[in-house]
Amino acid sequence: DGVVLELPAVTSVTGSLGNTWQADGTGSVLRLPSLTSIANGDGHAFDMFLRATTGGRIELPAVTTIVDPNTGDTRNRGVHITADGPGSTIDLSALLQFTDANPDERSSLSAANFGTIVVNGSQPVSLINVMTSETNNGMILGQFGMRVDVPPPLGAEAELRQEELQRIADAAITLLSGSTSVDLQSRLSAVRVSITDLPGLFVGYADKDRILIDDDAAGYGWFVDATPLDDEEFLSSEAGTDSPARGRIDLLSVVLHEYLHVLGMSHAHSPGETIASPLIEPGRRLQLMPDLLDDLMSDGLAAW
Ligand SMILES: [Ca+2]
Ligand SMILES: [Ca+2]
Ligand SMILES: [Ca+2]
Ligand SMILES: [Ca+2]
Ligand SMILES: [Zn+2]
């Protein structure tokens, strides 16, 4: 517990039999800031395990590639990455490619029991023969997480209350339902919307049946609009100097963004500063593009 191990010189690693990296317990950190690639070794039953448990953190912020190669004895081999338990986090925020080239045993990414794995959120991540699982509030953040770009100025911000979130969620459903003839009310009302402490700069997250909203907007604090169907606090999308939205993250924008993920939106729908962007700045309201919802509806409601 409480051990920080930093290996700044390591840029690539190759796995071997039973190779395990583990950070166990709050305060335990394994950090390899220069590591860019992880390749499994090619002997029989070589498994690599990266495990963050009971609050431990494994920080691999420069890793872009993970591979279990197609060479050697490919039987019973995989790279298995697990974050299990509240506060347990694996930072793979630059990850672009995770490939298991010998799928007789697939590799895996598993987040369980409020554990979090952060993958690249600004570019699509290619996962080939990799099983993903999120169980009991585990999260694989990235593709469907919305975040701010820059850490906030210091200062304690009030935490969001569930009734405030529910009011904004209701307004978002009204806005979305009004933009299309398809009945979205029942689909979206079935999505659980709740408050949690998302890691780092993340402010929102969605998967197919739930939305998670950060408790304090990554430290910026939320703008909870008393008149969510009116944009009067935003002068041409930006909050003026005396606006209550100034310096805060607009909850309505984030909730709309996450509902759109539930309906099948990806960040690839995002040229520039629109509701599909995975980044949001304080004091900004992102606009719902009229065509976006029609596109999603013509693709059919997302099956995922
Ligand atoms: Ca194995
Ligand atoms: Ca394999
Ligand atoms: Ca947070
Ligand atoms: Ca308003
Ligand atoms: Zn997103």
pLDDT, tens only, 101-121: 998 899 999 999 989 999 987
The mean predicted confidence, pLDDT, of the chain is 89
- Look at residue 271 in the predicted model and tell me its pLDDT: 61
Ligand 4 center from residue 236 Cα (angstroms): 13
In the CATH hierarchy, which top-level class contains the domain 147-298? alpha beta
Query: What DSSP assignment string belongs to 131-180?
Result: EEEEETT-EEESTTEEE-SSPPPS---PPP-HHHHHHHHHHHHHHHHTT-
Mean pLDDT of 289-302: 75
The answer to whether 247 and 223 have CB atoms below 8 angstroms apart is no
Mean pLDDT of 271-279: 79
Ligand 2 center from residue 185 Cα (angstroms): 43
What are the pLDDT digits (tens) for 173-188?
999 988 777 778 888 9
The answer to whether 57 and 33 have CB atoms below 8 angstroms apart is no
| Residues whose CB is less than 8 angstroms from the CB of residue 127 and which lie 6 or more positions away in sequence, other chains included | 98, 99, 109
The answer to whether 28 and 58 have CB atoms below 8 angstroms apart is no
pLDDT of 249 over the 70 cut: yes
- Surrounding ion ligand 5 within 5 Å at CB are 146, 278
Ligand 5 center from residue 154 Cα (angstroms): 25
Q: Where are the domains of the chain?
A: 4-142, 147-298
DSSP 265: -
What are the pLDDT digits (tens) for 196-242?
988 888 999 998 788 999 999 999 999 999 999 999 898 755 666 77
Structure tokens at 144: 């469907």
- Look at residue 178 in the predicted model and tell me its pLDDT: 83
Percent of the chain at pLDDT above 90?
62
Ligand 1 center from residue 107 Cα (angstroms): 9
- Look at residue 237 in the predicted model and tell me its pLDDT: 57
Ligand 1 center from residue 99 Cα (angstroms): 16
Percent of the chain at pLDDT above 70?
93
Ligand 2 center from residue 43 Cα (angstroms): 11
Amino acid type, 287 = Q
pLDDT of 57 over the 90 cut: yes
Q: Which long-range contacts (CB under 8 A, 24 or more apart) does 231-239 make?
A: 231/285, 233/285, 234/283, 234/284, 234/285, 237/273, 237/284, 237/285, 237/286, 237/287, 238/283, 238/284, 239/283, 239/284, 239/285
* Largest CA-CA distance found in the chain, in angstroms, rounded: 66
Dist. CA 139–CA 111, nearest whole Å: 6
Task: For the chain, report the end-to-end CA distance as a whole number of angstroms.
Answer: 38
Angle at 187 between CA 116 and CA 215, to 5 degrees: 35
pLDDT of 301 over the 60 cut: no
Dist. CA 200–CA 223, nearest whole Å: 19
Ligand 4 center from residue 181 Cα (angstroms): 25
Ligand 1 center from residue 11 Cα (angstroms): 25
